[in-house]
């Protein structure tokens, strides 16, 4: 097991890569704990949960809402949970985002931690302290920054993931390589089959390196005033796609990265071959690369993105493989770039 640290204003978070769920008791000892999970994870792993009350929510992006948080609050009140109660989110990115938000707002804030059970949650969603829910169909519109006390990434739990969910996790791993580490892109190319087979050493390296990259960025810029914006690479198109089509987050991010790389070429920042290579990597991890809706529809949805400021948005480009840059861009300029790149 290897530990990484995220330092944030609300405290530090310990991320344990390769820790086993069997050791979970050590982390919650002497704390009255309530588990928040989803019905699928509960069905698969209930026998490995410590002996404490469980609140099981439904599955899917549609339940990432304030209504679900309200039902959690009601259950916490019924359980007589107080501010000293520890909330453990045990599940994928949706459980982590909701449990972190419910914990952070219940009685003005209870402490919380996560057992991340999907690849996407282990490499991204459980790390960094963004907790929240969607609103009006738009992504993550209501939320807080607040670091979990700990995150357990038990790599063994990934074996039960449906393939489509596993592939979604690779989209965020590819993102970390694309924005911060060119050698990770080489690694992803050279070890694709082993990575997809969940070879223990390969997956441990990819999860560890992803968390290391994200932990570094978040520690330097927790509140997303600068560098953290780079973690949004592929997400401006991606969130619009999720809103319009309901495809899973990882798939939307994969397509979003391909589109953002093409705009980077159009802007004269990235070589055409580098953009093609990124597209090949996304495709080779079984992820879609073509948007299922018109880019013009995505551009319209982006105008309600929470990152919008007036008629401008911070857009993440690549200026070389393994390196991103952020520009404050007018929507008009974004549309013009998309048109001249031949994608709108």
Ligand X SMILES: NC(=O)c1ccc[n+]([C@@H]2O[C@H](COP(=O)([O-])OP(=O)(O)OC[C@H]3O[C@@H](n4cnc5c(N)ncnc54)[C@H](O)[C@@H]3O)[C@@H](O)[C@H]2O)c1
Question: In the complex with ligand X, which residue's Cβ is closer, 176 or 267?
Answer: 176
> In whole angstroms, how close is the CB of 249 to ligand LNCXM5UN at the nearest point?
6
In 3D, which of 59, 104, 106 has the Cα closest to residue 81?
Answer: 106
Which of 16, 110, 161, 260 binds ligand X (CB under 6 A)? It is 161
Residue indicated by tokens 């069997």:
22
- 250: phi > 0 → left, psi -120 to 50 → alpha, else beta; which? alpha
Count, residues near ligand LNCXM5UN per rule CB under 6 A: 11
C-alpha to C-alpha distance for 49 and 24, rounded to whole angstroms? 8
Residue 97 lies near ligand X (rule: CB under 6 A) = yes
Question: In the complex with ligand X, which residue's Cβ is closer, 248 or 291?
Answer: 248
Which of 249, 262, 267, 314 binds ligand X (CB under 6 A)? It is 249
Residue 305 lies near ligand X (rule: CB under 6 A) = no
CA dihedral 15, 21, 25, 28 (to 10 degrees): 40
Q: How many CB atoms lie within 10 A of CB 308?
A: 14
Residue 243, annotated ligand binder?
A: no
Helical spans, DSSP H, in the chain: 24-28, 39-45, 66-78, 93-105, 119-120, 163-180, 182-190, 192-196, 200-220, 235-245, 249-266, 272-284, 295-302, 331-340
Only one of the segments 67-75, 158-166, 231-239, 273-281 lies at the binding site for ligand LNCXM5UN (rule: CB under 6 A); that segment is 231-239
Which of 172, 181, 212, 251 binds ligand LNCXM5UN (CB under 6 A)? It is 172
Residues of this chain that bind ligand X (CB under 6 A):
38, 40-41, 44, 59, 61, 64, 91-95, 97, 117-118, 120-121, 124-125, 128, 130, 139, 157, 160-161, 165, 168, 249-250
Q: Write out the residues near ligand LNCXM5UN by the rule CB under 6 A.
A: 124, 128, 130, 139-140, 172, 224, 228, 231-232, 235
């Amino acid at each position: 097991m290897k530990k990484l640290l995220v330092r944030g204003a609300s405290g530090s978070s310990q991320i344990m890569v390769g820790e086993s769920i069997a050791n979970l008791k050590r982390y919650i000892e002497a704390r009255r704990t309530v588990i928040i999970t989803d019905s699928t994870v509960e069905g698969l792993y209930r026998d490995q949960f410590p002996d404490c009350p469980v609140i099981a929510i439904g599955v899917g992006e549609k339940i990432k809402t304030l209504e679900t948080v309200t039902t959690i609050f009601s259950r916490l009140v019924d359980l007589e949970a107080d501010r000293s109660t520890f909330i453990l989110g045990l599940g994928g990115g949706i459980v982590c985002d909701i449990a972190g938000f419910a914990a952070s707002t219940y009685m003005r804030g209870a402490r919380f931690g996560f057992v991340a059970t999907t690849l996407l949650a282990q490499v991204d969603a459980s790390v960094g302290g963004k907790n929240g829910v969607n609103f009006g169909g738009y992504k993550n519109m209501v939320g807080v920054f607040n670091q979990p006390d700990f995150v357990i990434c038990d790599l063994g739990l990934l074996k039960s993931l449906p393939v489509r969910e596993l592939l979604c996790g690779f989209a965020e791993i590819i993102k970390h390589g694309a924005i911060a580490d060119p050698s990770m892109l080489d690694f992803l190319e050279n070890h694709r089959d082993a990575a997809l087979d969940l070879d223990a050493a390969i997956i441990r390296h990819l999860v560890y390196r992803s968390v290391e990259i994200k932990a570094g960025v978040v520690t330097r810029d927790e509140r997303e005033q600068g560098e953290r914006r780079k973690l949004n690479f592929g997400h401006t198109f991606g969130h619009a796609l999720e809103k319009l089509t309901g495809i899973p987050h990882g798939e939307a991010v994969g397509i979003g990265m391909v589109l953002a790389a093409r705009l980077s070429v159009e802007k004269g920042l990235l070589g055409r071959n580098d953009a093609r290579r990124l597209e090949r990597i996304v495709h080779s991890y079984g992820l879609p690369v073509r948007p299922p809706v018109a880019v013009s529809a995505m551009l319209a949805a982006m105008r309600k993105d929470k990152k919008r400021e007036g008629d401008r948005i911070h857009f993440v480009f690549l200026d070389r493989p393994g390196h991103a840059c952020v520009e404050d861009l007018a929507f008009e300029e974004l549309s013009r770039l998309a048109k001249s790149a031949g994608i709108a």
